[in-house]
Amino acid sequence: MTTLALTDGFVLTPGFAVEKRDVLVDADAGDIVEVGSDLGADADDTLDASDGLVIPGLVNAHSHAAMTLLRGYADDKPLDAWLREDVWPIEATLRGSDVRAGAELAMVEMIRSGVTAVGDMYFHVGDIVDVVDRSGMRARVGHGVVTVGKDDDDAQADLDESFHVAEKFDGAADGRVRTAVMPHSLTTVDEELLDEAAERSREAGIPLHFHLNETPAEVDPIVDEAGERPSAYADDRGLLRPDTWAAHGVHTDESEIHLLADRGVTVVHCPASNMKLASGMAPVQEMLDAGVNVALGTDGAASNNDLDVFGEMRDAAMVGKLAADDASAVSAESALRMATENGANALGFDSGRIEPGRNADLAVVDLDVPHLTPHHDLVSHLVYAARGSDVRHTVCDGRVLMDDRDVVAFDEGEVRERAQEAASGAVDRAER
Ligand SMILES: N[C@@H](CCSC[C@H]1O[C@@H](n2cnc3c(=O)[nH]cnc32)[C@H](O)[C@@H]1O)C(=O)O
Ligand SMILES: [Zn+2]
């Protein structure tokens, strides 16, 4: 066993107490071995966590990582117009090498801000898997299926591709990559193909991920045509299961909240994206009260516009209070739980809590800065005052991905250059 000790820091316990401890990790197995005192002396390697707080690596449960290429390309528009007029036309020009460049930029950005696991829906998934593998991160990935506007053969082929991708890449990167089948949404995939997605994925034991109730335009047509709320429609298709995680859940009524809770579905709250596209406010505190597993996601960088999950925690807490007209709604503790344990549950990873036997997915936040002083309550600081750039070290699966703000796997300058080139090339092709 090769061991790594994170020494001399404070550690966030599963109960969200903060204790002065070392964390000993099995770098081969990728697990946490022990949380205790004086564990550095016998370890093969050490990572200095002094003046730092060791937290579970954050989980970005809904993203389109390669959309970093479109950051700042089209802003200040609502979802439907933004997708149809700007995003989809330029995405149509993206090649595998572009998606790779965008994913590299995303992984560097996420590692720098202490994210160790991401749920990602996109295309050219093989390229994304390759980048995840090299980055050292953990991911649950899938091919997003859109069937509206396609003939039957093309629609079927897109769904088949999602299954092909899910089967081919599951367990890649020494098991750090897991997969799911990902119909884009209930309104962009035809009913029969949603039925097929549900049935085949259930038989094959593959999880499901889709956008749910992001805007009224994703709700009203279903209510009009099927005569029921979208979550009931999804349930009739067999899409609501404990291994389902759905993004957004903004326009979700009380009956749906109880249905989602009952079926064990995770809802990924994406507060920045929901604010920026003016999609609305998800009933987060109501979902938490009903027992829904609520996680956090950035969504793509083109609707956020960064991949900093500290920002999502703060936004979730702030806007959650505003929407509930209650300053006690979406507490710091619940926002932090969403970004750690709940996110890990959503993606099916044994991470999100610092205790022996769990995945050694960790981040060390530098506390030695003005905006995190004084130390009344470090959970409060993580949610209300910290930002991604406060992360000093990132560890995933027992390996150091960022050491003292130096991302190990990538040359950041080269990554930024490749992303800039890919983005410019895509714009040229889209506007030609
Ligand atoms: N196979 C599909 C791609 C689906 S990937 C997932 C899609 O979700 C899109 N997307 C990004 N953010 C959002 C959002 O907030 N709501 C809905 N879709 C989004 C993203 O641009 C991407 O096209 C195709 O060829 O068009
Ligand atoms: Zn999305």
Mutation test residue for ligand 1: of 71, 73, 83, 148, the one with most atoms within 8 Å of CB: 83
User: If you measure from the C-alpha of residue 266 to the centroid of ligand 1, how many angstroms do you get, rounded to a whole number?
Assistant: 19
Burial class (CB in 10 A: 0-12, 13-18, 19+), 161: middle
pTM (two decimals): 0.98
User: If you measure from the C-alpha of residue 300 to the centroid of ligand 2, how many angstroms do you get, rounded to a whole number?
Assistant: 6
Locate 20 and state its tokens: 């002065």
pLDDT band per the 50, 70, 90 thresholds, residue 380: very high
What does residue 176 show for φ and ψ, rounded to 5 degrees?
Answer: -75, -20
| pLDDT on residue 431 | 85
One-letter amino acid at 158 equals D
What ranges in 144-282 are assigned the alpha helix state H? 152-169, 191-204, 220-226, 230-237, 254-263, 271-276
Integer CA distances (angstroms), 88 to 78, 79, 122, in order: 14, 11, 12
CATH superfamily of 3-56+351-407: Urease, subunit C, domain 1 (2.30.40.10)
pLDDT exceeds 80 at position 432: no
pLDDT exceeds 80 at position 332: yes
pLDDT exceeds 90 at position 311: yes
Is there a common fold for 3-56+351-407 and 58-347?
no
Percent of the chain topping pLDDT 70: 100
Summarize pLDDT for 8-40 with one digit per residue, the tens: 999 999 999 999 999 999 999 999 999 999 999
Neighbours of 51 (CB within 10 A): 16
Summarize pLDDT for 75-115 with one digit per residue, the tens: 999 999 999 999 999 999 999 999 999 999 999 999 999 99
User: If you measure from the C-alpha of residue 144 to the centroid of ligand 1, how many angstroms do you get, rounded to a whole number?
Assistant: 7
Q: Residue ranges per domain, the chain?
A: 3-56+351-407, 58-347
| pLDDT on residue 410 | 98
One-letter amino acid at 100 equals R
SS3 assignment, position 360: coil
Percent of the chain topping pLDDT 90: 100
Summarize pLDDT for 145-176 with one digit per residue, the tens: 999 999 999 999 999 999 999 999 999 999 99
CATH 3.20.20.140 given to domain 58-347: yes
